[in-house]
Amino acid sequence: MLPDVRLSAVRGIVAQRMEEVALDLAEGAFEEFFTRTMRGALLDGFARAGAHEGTVWLIDASEQFLIPRFNNGPNAGNFVGRFRQSLQSGMVGMVVATQQPICENRAHLNAIHDPRLDHELGLVTTAMIAVPLYFAHQLRGVISAVQLRPAKSEAPDPPGFSPRDLGQLQLTAEILERLIEHELLTLSIGLGTASC
């Protein structure tokens, strides 16, 4: 299908508005924007990948940090919206730098892993999948899925992730990207409103 030529005159205005809304999401509007459908698709993807929990990290306006804007774990209230992960460190920072996914089954032993959040929460990230998140025509953040154990536990580490699990999270990211793009477009042209 070809674009309607009548809309070409407003294409730039719509793209600019989508960019403005995308920046608002990174600065804290994500929770109210994040619809039930988006949440459901993401949670289903985490479950299918075998993750204990997962996080949506968005690049802040200064482009220096990744900020967790959603997490489905029991400690979400302790770090979502307030923790700052430097783009220069950690596995999620590496995903932004390379724009490539990672799957690490010995995350806590990898020198790239930044353990600060684990230490704050009393956990050990034993395995992690992280994939880039794009919307409004550029890289906006990372989706990570993790397997965890309590820091003081002597239980064996969880089984880790497979290439299939990585593929599942990549598919989940693609679905979420399309849902976000749709919501950005409908909000930008006044055809819809975000609903949780």
Average pLDDT, rounded, for the chain: 92
By percentage, how much of the chain surpasses pLDDT 70? 97
Query: What integer pLDDT is reported at residue 195 of this predicted model?
Result: 46
Confidence label for 142 from pLDDT (cuts 50, 70 and 90): very high
The whole model's pTM is what?
0.90
- Position 93, amino acid: G
Confidence at residue 118, expressed as pLDDT on a 0 to 100 scale: 96
| Confidence band, pLDDT 50/70/90 cuts, at residue 192 | low
How far apart are the C-alpha atoms of 80 and 76, rounded to whole Å? 5
- Is the pLDDT at 114 greater than 80, yes or no? yes
Rg of the chain on CA atoms, in Å: 17
Q: What does the domain layout of the chain look like in residue ranges?
A: 12-188
CA distances from 112 to 67, 91, 98, 132, 140 (A): 18, 6, 13, 17, 21
Superfamily of domain 12-188: GAF domain (3.30.450.40)
Q: Extract the tokens encoding 27.
A: 């600065």
CB 144 within 8 A of CB 57: yes
Angle at Cα 55 formed by Cα 75 and Cα 193, nearest 5°?
105
Q: Residues near 176 by Cβ (< 8 Å), separated by ≥ 6? A: 38, 41, 42, 45, 56, 133, 143
- pLDDT band of 1, cuts 50, 70, 90: confident
State whether the Cα torsion 183-133-74-45 is positive or negative: positive
Q: Average pLDDT in the 169-191 region?
A: 91
Higher pLDDT, 43 or 6: 43
pLDDT value for 188:
81
Percentage above 90 pLDDT, the chain: 74
pLDDT digit string, tens, across residues 36-64: 999 999 999 999 999 999 999 999 999 99
Rounded CA-CA distance 62/130 in Å is: 22
Q: Provide the pLDDT for residue 166.
A: 98
Q: What is the pLDDT of residue 69?
A: 96
- Which residue pairs from 40-44 have beta carbons closer than 8 angstroms and sit at least 24 positions apart in sequence? 41/172, 41/175, 41/176, 41/179, 42/70, 42/72, 42/143, 42/172, 42/176, 43/72, 44/172
How would residue 86 be classed by pLDDT, with cut points 50, 70 and 90?
very high
Surface-to-core class of residue 68, CB atoms within 10 Å of its CB (0-12 exposed, 13-18 middle, 19+ buried): buried
Q: Is 50 left (phi over 0), alpha (psi -120 to 50) or beta?
A: left
